[in-house]
Structures are given as C-alpha cells and as structure tokens.
Structure 1
Amino acid sequence: MKGVIFDWAGTTVDYGCFAPVQVFMEVFKQRGVEITFEEARAPMGLLKIDHVRAICEMDRVKAEWKTVHGKAPTEQDVVALYEDFEPMLFRILDNYADPLPHVQTTMEALREKQIAIGSTSGYTEEMMNVVAREASNKGYQPDAIVTSTEVPAGRPYPWMCYMNAMKLNVFPMKHMVKVGDTVSDMKEGVHAGMWTVGTILGSSTLGLSQEDVNTMDESLLKEKMASARDTLYEAGADFVIDDISALPELIDQINTHLQEEVSTHV
C-alpha cells in the first residue's frame, strides 16, 4: 500500500456528519416541506447540489412538495434550495471540523509506514477551505485535498480519487485504499479500482452523535452498527471497521494479500 484517501465529514472530522444534515432539513422547512433526519442523510457524500437534487427526487418528498406547492420540485427549485443551503452551511462549518477519535494517531501510524494521505469530499472547494483550515489548527492535515467542484463530477464517479493519485504521485490504484463512511464513498472507491474500507463509529451511515454512542444501550448500539456495516458492504466495501484506529493493521493484512498475489504470479 502506497496511499490512503480519506473522506472528510463523518470519517475524519465532524462526528456523525451533522453539519450538512441540519442545514438540509432547515432549507426544506423554510419552503414548507418537512424532511426527516433519514431523508436528509440518505444521499450523504454527494456534491451538495446533487444531494439537494437527490432529496427532491425521493417519492415522499416529491409528493409533499406537490401538496405544498402544487407541482413536483423542478431544477429551478433545486438551484434555489442550494442557494439557500450554501450560505447557511458556511455560517456553521467552522464549528464542525473537530477530528474524530484516533485520527491523529492513525495518521502518524500511516506516515511511519511511508503511506501518502489524500482526501475527497462532497463539499465544494470553498467549503473545504474552511473545514481544512480548522482541522489543521486541531491537528489533522492530509497531504492532498480534492473536492467535487475541482473535477467533472463528484461521487460516485472516481475522478477525485484519480486526482489525488496524481497529486500524491501514487500508482497503480490497487495500491491505494479509499476510506469513508457513506454509500457514495464506497462506490467512489470501487469505481476507482481501489481497496475500499467503510467506517462505522462517527459515520453518517450510523448517524449517531458521540454522546449517543457513549450512552446508548449496548445491544441497541450493536444492532445499529451491524445495520450500518451491512449497508457499507452492500455498497461495495472490501472491509468495514469500527473506526479508523483499525486501519494500520488492516493495511498490513492487505499488504500480505498483495505479496501473496505477486508470489502466485512469479
């Protein structure tokens, strides 16, 4: 393994990926349409205007919008919702850039293995500038950052991963790992031809705050974690780990597999 490409919110910062969820719910509410926590989360990881578009295409949301506005949401409505979303998100983003537990120690372990660290995000370049600055102040700074607005299309397309590979000067893609917390992260990694690893604790897929995780009944938490694990595997993950502290050891396992593969072909 030569490189790891991490997602941001829900994987390395913003435990539970709460910043965008709250704003998505609010912008729809302002137009008289209530969306649920689950509906706001479902498309997480996409470029944010694509995320708005995906919510508008949900059958229940579309029907509710039609009831309130007399017709289904149009592309013009999508753009208007996004235009409200962006400034609202900018106002709170710097409060949602705290690194998740184990981030710093995991990055140190990867660098000791001489593994380059890249990153992708559904945030725009301008949004990422805010998050990356705050995260850097708190001890997390990857070697490369690529956002959805710097490539022809965001997730689930692989372009952000390819641009990371170029910036990090790493090849082939099977010698890189994509780590993320959403369905679209898994698809991005699969489409890029990378080993793909899902994380559960702190993830948008699990959708729980750190306080929820710490106080929840253990059997209920295990049930929710098992459901999140299944979701990420169904989206194409090669492996799913509880949190990124397990990543360095997992990379050792992948290296063993790659070495065996080379031996087999010699």
Structure 2
Amino acid sequence: MTRQLEAIIFDWAGTLVDFGSRAPLSAFMQVFADAGIDISESETRTPMGTEKQEHIRRLLQMPRIRDAWQAAHNTPATEADVARLYKNLGPVQQRAIDHHSAAVPGATAAFSMARARGLKIGTTTGYSRNMIEGMLEAAAQQQLLPDSVVAADEAPGARPGPAAALRTVIDLGISCVSACVKVDDTAPGIDEGRNAGMWTVAVVCSGNALGLSLAQWQQLDEQQKKTQRDRAYRALESCGAHYLIDDVSELEAVLVDINRRLALGETP
C-alpha cells in the first residue's frame, strides 16, 4: 500500500486554463443555434465535464430541448443528429479553445509546487485530441507541461467512467491508484477520479460552477464575490469530491492532508 502521493491528474478547462470554462459554453450554444435551437447558458453547463458527444446527447435529452428539436425538425433527435452536431462542434470548439487558453491564476505555481514535491503530472479532458492541440501549445508557453495528456477520444468510456484516469496511471507508471489525486471543476470529472479509485479535489471558483470569466469575477465587489462563491460551492458540494477548494492555488494544503491520511493507512 502506498504511503505518499505519486501523481496529480488535472483537468484542463476551468482547472488549469480558461477561467470560468467559457470555451465549451460558447461552442455548444453556437452549434445548437446553427441547428435552429437556442439553448441557455445554464442548460449548456448542466452536462459540463462529460465527453463532448455525450454532452450533446444529454442536452438533447433535456425535456425543453427535446421538445424544441421536435418542433423545429418535425422529428425526435436521433443518434445521427448527435453525430452530426458533434462533427459540426469540432472546428467551432477548436476556435473557442484557442481563444480561451490563458492559464488560470495559480496554475503555473501549482505545477512548480507539484514538481518540487516530486509528483508526476497527468491531465485528462472532455475534449478530443484534435480540439486541444492549439491549447497544449499555448499551455506549454505558460510553463504548463504535463507528463501525460489523455483526451476523451483516446479513452472510450471516459467521463464519468475511469478510462482516461486509468490510462494516465499506466502512462505515468504509478504504483497504486490511491497514490493519485484527480483535480477537476465538474461532477463528471470528479466521478472519473472516484471511479478510478483516486482522491479527488473539486475546484469551485475557476470553473464551471462559478461560470464567470476572470474579468467578470475580478469586477465584483467583496460581497458579490461571497454571494457567487457560496452559490458555486453549493452547486458542487454534493459532487462527491474529497476536498473542495477555490482554485489550484490552494492545492498544496490538500496534498499535505492526503499524505497524512495515506500515512495512517487511509484510502480514498
């Protein structure tokens, strides 16, 4: 049994880059609008964190969107429609990701902290590989250079399934899944880690739960920030994460506590 952490597995959008997870939001809304269906921001965010084709499928299963599709197209949505929307999403999503690739505050320091602690760094994502090539280049220029990147289309059954996280364990040569901590901003991403047998940390304010861009967040006064922060914590408090933090700048204290628990023989 492991006695210390060996690796951190980060999500990308809303965790390391793209404060507020804005890129997937705008892409989904545009693709559905192009298909004649207006979807709201709250509807779009509900399945956030799942693999993108599954995200489309879950949107089409929502009663209001299901009925709107039926009214607009005179037929229920089919798997062929899911596939077509996903195909259309690709280039739209890639452009949005390229536009929202700035590191979240504290991400570069979190990588440095992890390296100083001797931890390996993996990443998983709900994006497909072709969607993230530009983002990975931009991340590297911001000193975000993980040891492993596993995209959703490279691990069938990922998000909320454990496939991508477990492939990362293999890629990194980790001795035990309980020596890993998964850090994510969505419930499906936390489920990915839990289903893989890992410790999990939900980041609340930099990602989907808060949903604000960095500029929008910084423009709020302290009372408004407290209100929005409390709302976001309520949204994620039942996601099953072992720990909830504002963002990755608060991660080190969590790692210390997990190592304490491992040393006592605890497992996730």
What TM-score bracket applies, with the shorter chain setting the length?
over 0.9
Matches within 5 A, 1:246-265: 246-261=250-265
Corresponding residue SS for 1:261: coil
- Tell me the secondary structure at the aligned position of residue 118 of structure 1: strand
Q: Name the counterpart of 1:168.
A: 172
Q: Is the 8 A contact 1:233 1:239 kept in 2?
A: no
Contact 1:56–1:73, Cα closer than 8 Å, also in 2: yes
Is the counterpart of residue 187 in structure 1 residue 191 in structure 2? Answer: yes
Calculate percent identity across the aligned residue pairs.
34
Cα distance in 2, alignment partners of residues 218 and 75 from structure 1? 46
The reply on whether 1:177 has 2:157 as its aligned counterpart is no
Partner Cα separation in structure 2 for residue 79 and residue 16 of structure 1: 27
Letter in 2 for 1:120: T
Q: CA offset at residue 130 of structure 1?
A: 2.1
The CA deviation at 1:221 is 2.7
**SS across alignment from 1:206:** coil
Correspondence 1:31 to 2:58: no
- Contact 2:24–2:96 (Cα < 8 Å) also in 1: no
Structure 1 residue 240: deviation in Å?
Answer: 0.3
Greater Cα offset, 3-12 or 138-147: 138-147
Unaligned runs of 5+ in 2: none
In structure 2, the partner of 1:242 is: 246
Which amino acid letter does the alignment assign opposite residue 147 of structure 1?
A
| TM-superposed deviation, 1:100 | 0.6
C-alpha contact 2:27 2:96 (8 A) present in aligned 1: no
The answer as to 2:206 corresponding to 1:202 is yes
The residue type equivalent to 1:38 in the other structure is S
* Worse-matched range after superposition: 214-223 or 120-129: 214-223
One-letter amino acid of the counterpart of residue 242, structure 1: D
8 Å CA contact 2:169, 2:177 repeated in 1: yes
Q: Which residue of the other structure, out of 216, 219, 222, is the alignment partner of 1:215?
A: 219
2:232 equivalent in structure 1: 228
Equivalent of 1:93 in 82, 90, 97 = 97
Q: Is the 8 A contact 2:26 2:96 kept in 1?
A: no
Q: Normalized against structure 1, the TM-score is what?
A: 0.94
Aligned-pair Cα RMSD in Å: 1.4
Instruction: Report the Cα offset of residue 125 of structure 1.
Output: 1.3
Match of residue 124 from structure 1: 128
Deviation track 1:81-128 (CA, whole Å, cap 9, x = no partner) reads 112111112233222211110111111111111011100001111112
Q: How many residues align?
A: 262
Asked if 1:152 corresponds to 2:152, the answer is no
- Deviations along 1:162-205, one digit per CA (max 9) or x if unpaired, are 11111111121111100000011111111011110000122012
Large movers: runs of 4+ above 4 Å: none
Name the amino acid aligned to 1:117.
I
Structure 1: gaps spanning 5 or more residues? none
TM-score for the superposition, normalised by structure 2: 0.93
Supply the AA of the counterpart residue of 1:46.
T
Following the alignment from structure 1 to structure 2, what is the Cα–Cα distance between the partners of residues 45 and 168? 23
Cα distance in 1 for partners of 2:96, 2:250 equals 31
User: Aligned letter for 1:232?
Assistant: L
Query: What is residue 64 of structure 1 aligned with on the other side?
Result: 68
In 2: Cα distance, 1:23 partner to 1:150 partner: 21
Contact 2:94 2:132 in 1 (8 A): no
Q: Which whole-Å CA distance do the structure 2 matches of 1:33 and 1:154 have between them?
A: 27
Deviation, 1:21, is 0.9
Give the 3-state SS of the residue equivalent to 1:234 in structure 2. coil
SS across alignment from 1:145: strand
- Kindly indicate whether the alpha-carbon contact (under 8 Å) linking 1:183 and 1:231 is maintained by their aligned counterparts in 2: no
